[in-house]
Structure 1
Amino acid sequence: MNVARMSHSACVLDERIYVFGGLDGCGSALDSCEYYSPVMNRWVALWKMPVPIYAGSATTLGGKCYIAGGMTHNADDPTPRVRMTMICYDPRSRKWSVPGYLRMPLCHATLVNVQGRLLLCGGATYREEKARKRDLVSVASIDEYNILTNSWGFRTKMSSARQEVSAVTVGSKLYVIGGKNCEDEKIDQTVECYDTTFSTWKNCQFRLPTAVKNVKCVSCHNLK
C-alpha cells in the first residue's frame, strides 16, 4: 500500500481491493483511502473519507463501498469515540455520502453482504450511552440495513456477545466465526451458521482448532 496502516477496513469491488482509514504507526487515525488495481499492478489514492476512521468494517452493495461504524479521534480530542454512522463511497462519482445511521454506536463489528442484504455482526458499543466513555461492552446482535428507508434494524442475535468476529457468506447462509468478548477477554472457537432465507441458526458440527479473533475469511467456489 502507499500508506502503512492497521485496523483499517477493506473490500473488493470490480476486481479492485479498496482499503479505508485505519491507524498509522504512531496510533493516529487515518482518513486516507486507496485501491489496488491488478491490471496496473499498483495502488491508487482515493478521495479522503469525511473523518478519520479505524476499527470499522467495509463491504460492497450496488457498485458502492459501505463502511459501518468504527472509531475516531483527532488531535484536539484524543479520546476515541465510537461511531454510529455508515458512510458510502461511490467509485463512479468519486463522492462520499452518509446513507444511514446504525441502531447504536458500534466498533469492531463485521459488515457483510448476503445476497444483496447488508448485515452487521456483533461489535462493541458503550456500556452506558450517556457516559460516552471508554467503557465498552460486546454485543450479540446482528442488524440489517433497509436500503429503501436508509435505516438499520435488529435481525437476530448470535449465541453470545462478541466483537472482532469473522463472517463469510455461502449463498444465503452466513457463517460467523470466532471473536472476542471484551468483558472477560475470552477468544472464541465457535462457528455458527445463520440461514437468512429461513431466519434460523444451525449448529455446526465442528469448532475451530484454536480460538481466533479479527481474522478474515473468504468463500471459494469451484476449486479443483
Structure 2
Amino acid sequence: MAESRKYHAAVALDSGKVLVAGGYNTSGYLSSTTLYDPGTGTWTAAAPMPEPRQVLTATLLPSGQVLVAGGENATGRLASTALYDPASNAWTSAGSFATGVARDSLTATLLPSGKVLVAGGGNGSGPQGKVDVYDPASGTWSAGASLAMPRRNHTATLLP
C-alpha cells in the first residue's frame, strides 16, 4: 500500500481485487483509494473519492459498483455518499442520507432486494438510531424505521 491508513473501509470486488478507501494517517483525512490484487500481491492507486472520510462504510452492489456512506472528515460527520465504478475507475455522488443525519461508525447491509440498509452510527450528539435505505435501481435514499435503541460502533448481520 502506498500510504498507511487507519479507520478505512475495504471491500472485495467482483474481479477478486480489494478496494481500500479513505481513512486517516499523519497527513490527515484521506480521500485516496487503492486496489489490492491478491493474485499478484500488488497494490495499485485508484481514483480518489470526491471527499476525504474515515470510519465510513463500503458496500459492493449487485452492479459491481461500490457504495461508500457516512464517516467523518475535518468538516465533521458526513451524510454524503458516493459510488465507485471499478470498470471506469471513477466516482460519482450518490446523494445524501434521506434522514439528513450525518454520522460515522455506522453499518451498511446489502439486502436481498439489492437495496442497502444503513443503520445507526454516531455524531456530536452521541449514538444515533436513524436508518436510511439506498435503492441503486433508482439512485435514491429513503428513511427507514428508526432502531429501537440508538447505537454506534455496532455490527449488522443479514439473517435469512
Please indicate the TM-score interval, normalised by the length of the shorter structure: 0.7 to 0.9
Match of 1:106 among 86, 91, 103: 103
| Post-superposition offset of 1:147 | 2.7
Distance in 2 (CA, whole Å) between partners of 1:90 and 1:148 is 15
1:33-52 to structure 2, matched below 5 A, reads 33-52=33-52
| Post-superposition offset of 1:162 | 0.7
> Normalising by structure 2, what TM-score?
0.87
The aligned counterpart of 2:117 is 119
**Percent identity of paired positions between Structure 1 and Structure 2:** 26
Distance in 2 (CA, whole Å) between partners of 1:106 and 1:38 is 32
Say what the alpha-carbon RMSD is for the aligned residues.
1.7
1:124-135 to structure 2, matched below 5 A, reads 124-125=122-123, 135=124
The aligned counterpart of 1:211 is none
| Post-superposition offset of 1:92 | 0.4
Q: How many residues align?
A: 155
Structure scoring higher RCO (CA < 8 A, sep ≥ 6) equals: 2
Residue 139 of structure 1 aligns with an amino acid whose one-letter code is: Q
Runs of 4+ in 1 over 6 A off after TM superposition: none
The aligned counterpart of 1:66 is 67
Residue 167 of structure 1 aligns with an amino acid whose one-letter code is: A
Q: Contact 1:12–1:59 at 8 Å: present in 2 too?
A: no
Gaps in structure 2 of 5+ consecutive residues? none
Q: Contact 1:68–1:86 at 8 Å: present in 2 too?
A: yes
- Structure showing greater Rg: 1
Superimposed CA distance per residue, residues 104-136 of structure 1 (whole angstroms, 9 cap, x where no aligned partner): 2121111121221211021113xxxxxxxxx33
Distance in 2 (CA, whole Å) between partners of 1:12 and 1:156 is 29
The aligned counterpart of 2:129 is 140
Distance in 1 (CA, whole Å) between partners of 2:79 and 2:6 is 21
1:74-223 to structure 2, matched below 5 A, reads 80-102=75-97, 103-104=99-100, 105-115=102-112, 116-125=114-123, 135-169=124-158, 173=159
> Normalising by structure 1, what TM-score?
0.64
Distance in 2 (CA, whole Å) between partners of 1:43 and 1:168 is 30
Distance in 1 (CA, whole Å) between partners of 2:107 and 2:3 is 23
The aligned counterpart of 2:53 is 53
Structure 1 residue 8 and structure 2 residue 8: aligned?
Answer: yes
Gaps in structure 1 of 5+ consecutive residues? 74-79, 126-134, 174-194, 196-224
Q: Contact 1:30–1:53 at 8 Å: present in 2 too?
A: yes
| Post-superposition offset of 1:34 | 0.6
Residue 154 of structure 1 aligns with an amino acid whose one-letter code is: A
